[in-house]
A and B are shown apart, each in its own frame.
Chain A
Amino acid sequence: MTQQLLSWLDERLDLSALQHFVSEKSVPVHRHSVWYYMGGITLFLVGVQVFTGILLLLYYRPSAGEAYESVKFIVSQVEFGWLIRNVHSWSANLLIFMAFVHLFSTLFLRSYRKPRELTWVTGVLLLFVMMGFGFSGYLLPWNELAFFATKVGTGIAGAVPGIGHFLLRFLRGGDDVTGATLTRFYGIHVAVLPATMTAILGLHLLFIQRQGMSVPPSVERREKAGEKIPQIPFVPHYVLHDVMWWYVALAVLAALALFLPWELGKKADAFAAVPPGIRPEWYFLAMFQVLKLLPAHIVGLEGEMLGVLGFSLAALVLLVLPFLDRGAGEGRSSPLVTVAGVAALVYMVVFTIYGYLAA
């Protein structure tokens, strides 16, 4: 039946180029090719988020007076609402985790080297977009923890020199975190970021399809020396493998949603005292912990501002890494990048754990 459908479409749209491309497409096989699947899992989780997010949209209300109650309604009154909401919350965290795994694997394998610089750049931008999704989505249940975490987070944005105050007001929809902030974050979460993500993700996937999978420098050297690197066909081998990983991710999500349900907590009260030990979600925790430790003033300048500047600089370096490590494209080894990558990984793990213990 699939064949009949395909030939019907082929008669009208000429799918021969597509069919040729798909049947010719192959993926290299080597010691590190398991990391190829990380991006696919991240993509699958994005799909899960879009799907469960749209479902949540059918019942959620983005106003300070109704948001908390609507989430409570979803979780307790709508059939399987608890499942959808918990999958959405857990998948968000899993997605960002996998995005970091994907980032570090491509970094250590130098996948960003010529000709794949733009794939890397779009990828890093996607990471920022995903963290934006996480930050904006976290506020939407309008509960106590989210309210104060947003207050602290947007407050830190205000520490950026020059545009800080404008940025704070832009994010908050005013001077304080209010219902206006909620509506704004909702618009960002369901319209602005999805549109941005679609565009950047489209480019990211287009580049990958155009250029094929990158191989690590060691494998590339073997190739140049004349060795034939084994390949598997994209369809059906690689695709089935991808789908298998997706199902594993699904199993993990289902188990988490069932055994570790997400708490709703108390409704946000702007005039209540800040709960002790308030902190952002884990993917911001390492940065937050550093900002907490910085002294109020360093050589006369505000400590927080320097911290924010420092992290912004690190983000910029990450973004333009392919252009900083041009040697990798020419086959030269770049141990500095490996060292920096390991250091960053260690810092993130240590400070995230530290952040949890310090609370």
Chain B
Amino acid sequence: MRPVIVRTVLFQALALAVFAVSAEAQQPAAATGCQTCHASQQSATLATPARDFAVTDVHRERGFSCVDCHGGDPAASDKAAAKAPSTGFRGKPTGALIIAVCSRCHSDAALMRKYAPKQRVDQAAEYATSVHGQQLAKGDTKVATCVSCHGAHGVRPVGDAQSPVYPLNVAATCTKCHADPERMKGYQRAGAPLPTDQREKYEKSVHHKAMVDRNDLSAPTCNDCHGNHGAAPPGVDAIANVCGTCHTVFATKFALSTHSLIFDRGCVECHNNHDIAQPSDAMLGTGKEALCGTCHSEGDNGFKAAAAMRSGIDTLKASIRLSQEQIDGVENAGMDMADQALTLREAGNHLTRARTEMHAFDPKLVDAVVSEGMGLTAKVDAAAAAARNEVSYRRTGLAISLAFIVLVVVALQLKIRSLERSTSGSRL
């Protein structure tokens, strides 16, 4: 790794030496001779960069122009004069030169402070540690460089929704290469060829859904787990840590459990890496869909533990549902069960916590939470029973009213008959 860092720094120094032009400007750059000539070219290869740069580019808006990266004489209208070696013209940078060109400014803290004070200045150093950087150092130019992800001529800030590195677009950008089997041929890791189905899998995942359906931009995409500029797959022993940056509680419990010593790939063993699905209770236990049976078999302690934890969670789930039905029934008869609804919600919270607790793979811990939850549902059931008693009490009260009403009806009947009898003088 160290020779690579040295080489990168050398390149930066070279770039600095070569481009004597000072890179200091503040207003959007005016159209240069380069742009005027190139934009009017027939060939797309020559014209497109100039056109893209003219439409929208974060560098142009800060006052940088073609010569700041490519060198040359912006004022000269003659091609030979504009691109004379004395102007420092470099043409189109490739390979490691791209890194040198970009990091000339972007790794210069004093310079970046004038334009984007909060922006980091260690991207090139990070890149050198990445798989892309290491491959590039070996001479592989197929790998991603700065412009592969950020673009060259129509560069947009990361926060711009149309930028290829905006969170919603990252997966598409990375898989431009990584989903191309032709391009990825020949690369391998740990003896196996690199997969090209990551995007397909990721788009089925709960993280992708969170980002796309619920607009949660904090949901992870490629760079959140693999790193930005220092992109590399996390080592197997680092997976739990990576997932644990967001899923802290699960990672802590898992780390204290026996499984953290046994699982080769940590969280990925049960939850997969790219196609992380919404977890369900079915994954736990000894049933057909359960994952515990992959390693555990009938009779061993793990099997028993899995069965115990699953049954605890199922019991609490069923109890909550029953209590809810009771509340609904009694509310309909006219009793106020708002307090019980709140208690039942607490019980629901316990169900959530039980599912978290299970990552310690210790049935005693799960049972503790489940028991507390069952205590709450028992309270709710008792209150519902009391409410039903109240309803019966009301029925009795109303039955008494009904009796009086019937009394009046009978008395009226008799009264009418007596009136008729006395008026006519004969029995009816």
Give chain A's interface residues, CB within 8 Å of chain B. Answer: 75-77, 81-83, 232, 236-237, 240-241, 243-244, 247-248, 250-251, 254-255, 257-259, 261, 263-264
A254 in contact with B415 (CB, 8 Å): no
For the complex, is B395 an interface residue (Cβ under 8 Å from A)? Answer: yes
Report the Cα distance A251→B335, complex, angstroms.
23
Q: Which residues in A have their C-beta under 8 angstroms from that of B412?
A: 240-241, 243-244, 247
> Of the 9-residue stretches B8-16, B140-148, B397-405, which lies at the interface with chain A?
B397-405
The prevalent SS among residues of B at the interface is helix
Determine the chain A residues whose CB is within 8 A of the CB of B406 once the complex forms.
251
A241→B413 CA distance, assembly (Å): 8
A250 to B313, CA, bound (A): 51
Specify which chain A residues have a CB less than 8 angstroms from the CB of B238 in the assembled complex. none
- B419 lies within 8 A of A244 (CB): no
Whether a CB of chain A sits under 8 angstroms from the CB of B126 is no
A240 touching B405, Cβ below 8 Å: no
Selected contact of A261 from candidates B332, B336, B337, B408, CB within 8 Å: B332
Q: How far is the CA of A258 from the CA of B394 in the complex (A)?
A: 8
CA distance A248 to B406 in the complex (A): 8
Residue of B nearest to A264 (CB): B332
User: Is B409 among interface residues, defined by CB-CB distance under 8 A?
Assistant: yes
B75, CB-defined interface residue at 8 Å? no
Pair B416/A254 contact, Cβ less than 8 Å:
no
Alpha-carbon distance A75/B335, docked complex (angstroms): 7
Any A CB within 8 A of the CB of B334: yes
Chain A CB within 8 A of B217 CB: no
Chain A contacts for B409, CB-based, 8 A: 244, 247-248, 251
Pairwise interchain contact B402-A237, C-beta atoms closer than 8 A: no
CA distance A143 to B334 in the complex (A): 16
Query: Given A261-B334, A263-B332, do A251 and B405 touch, yes or no (CB 8 Å)?
Result: yes
Using Cβ atoms and an 8 Å threshold, which residues of chain B touch A77?
336
Contact with A along B197-237 (1 / 0, CB 8 A): 00000000000000000000000000000000000000000
Interface pair B419/A76, CB less than 8 Å apart: no
Q: Which residue of A lies closest to B336 (CB)?
A: A76
Interchain CA distance A237-B420 in the complex, whole Å = 8
Question: Which residue of A has the minimal Cβ distance to B387?
Answer: A76
Complex contacts, A244 vs chain B, CB 8 Å: 408-409, 412-413, 416
List, in ascending order, chain B residues with CB within 8 A of A241's CB: 412, 416
Asked, given contacts A244-B409, A258-B398, whether A76 binds B334 with beta carbons under 8 Å apart, the answer is yes
> In the complex, what residue of chain B is closest to A259 when comparing beta carbons?
B395
B333 at the interface (CB under 8 A from A): yes
Kindly list chain A residues whose C-beta atoms are within 8 Å of the C-beta of B346. Answer: none
| A255 and B402 contact, Cβ closer than 8 Å, known pairs A241-B416, A243-B412, A244-B409 | yes
* Interface of A: prevailing SS: helix
CB pair B413–A250 under 8 Å, yes or no, is no
- Given A244-B413, A255-B402, answer yes or no on A261-B420 (Cβ-Cβ < 8 Å): no
- Kindly state the separation between the CA atoms of A67 and B65 in the bound complex, as whole angstroms: 64
Give Cα A232 to B420, complex, Å. 9
Interface size class of B (residues with CB under 8 A): 20 to 34
User: How would residues 28 to 69 of chain B score, 1 for a CB under 8 Å from any chain A CB and 0 otherwise?
Assistant: 000000000000000000000000000000000000000000
Write the nearest CB–CB distance from A231 to chain B, whole angstroms: 12
Chain B residues, Cβ within 8 Å of A261:
332-334
Which of B334, B405, B419 has its CB near the most chain A CB atoms (within 10 A)? B334
Query: A82 vs B394: C-alpha distance in the bound complex, in angstroms?
Result: 11
B362 close to chain A: CB less than 8 A: no
In the complex, chain B residues 414-428 whose Cβ is within 8 Å of any chain A Cβ:
415-416, 419-420
A76 in contact with B402 (CB, 8 Å): no
Instruction: Give complex CA distance A240, B410 in Å.
Output: 12
CA distance A248 to B333 in the complex (A): 24
Select one of A240, A255, A259 contacting B416, CB under 8 A. A240
**Roughly how many angstroms separate A232 CA and B401 CA in the complex, as a whole number?**
31
Taking the closest CB of chain A, its distance from the CB of B256, in whole angstroms, is 44
In the complex, the answer to whether A240 meets B401 with C-beta atoms within 8 Å is no
Chain B residue with Cβ nearest A77: B336
Q: What is the CB-to-nearest-CB distance from A261 to chain B, in angstroms, rounded to a whole number?
A: 6
By beta carbon, the residue of chain B nearest A85 is B334
Contacts of A83 in B (CB 8 A): 398
A263 proximity list for chain B (CB < 8 A)? 332
Q: How far is B73's CA from A85's CA once the two chains are assembled, in angstroms?
A: 88
Q: Which of A82, A236, A251, A264 is within 8 Å of B402, CB to CB?
A: A251
B314 within 8 A of A: no
Query: A247-B405, A251-B409 known; A81 and B334 CB under 8 Å?
Result: yes
Instruction: Check B401 against A254 for contact (C-beta < 8 Å).
Output: yes
Q: Is B372 an interface residue (CB 8 A)?
A: no
From A76, A248, A254, residue with most partner B Cβ within 10 Å: A76
Residues of chain A within 8 A (CB-CB) of B332 are 261, 263-264
Q: How far is the CA of A76 from the CA of B390 in the complex (A)?
A: 12
Q: Which residues of B contact A251 (CB under 8 A)?
A: 402, 405-406, 409
Q: Which of B333, B408, B413 contacts A82 (CB 8 A)?
A: B333
Supplied contacts A244-B413, A254-B398, 7 more A-B pairs, CB within 8 Å: A237-B416, A240-B412, A250-B405, A251-B406, A258-B395, A263-B332, A264-B332
Contacts of A76 in B (CB 8 A): 331, 334-338
What residues of A have a CB within 8 angstroms of the CB of B408 in the complex? Answer: 244, 247
CB distance from A257 to the nearest CB of B (A): 8
* Given A75-B334, A261-B333, A254-B405 contact (CB < 8 Å): yes
14 sample A-B contacts, Cβ–Cβ < 8 Å, listed by A number: A76-B334, A82-B334, A83-B398, A237-B416, A237-B420, A244-B409, A244-B413, A244-B416, A247-B409, A247-B412, A254-B398, A258-B399, A261-B332, A261-B333
CB distance from A69 to the nearest CB of B (A): 11
Docked-complex contact B398 and A237, CB < 8 angstroms: no
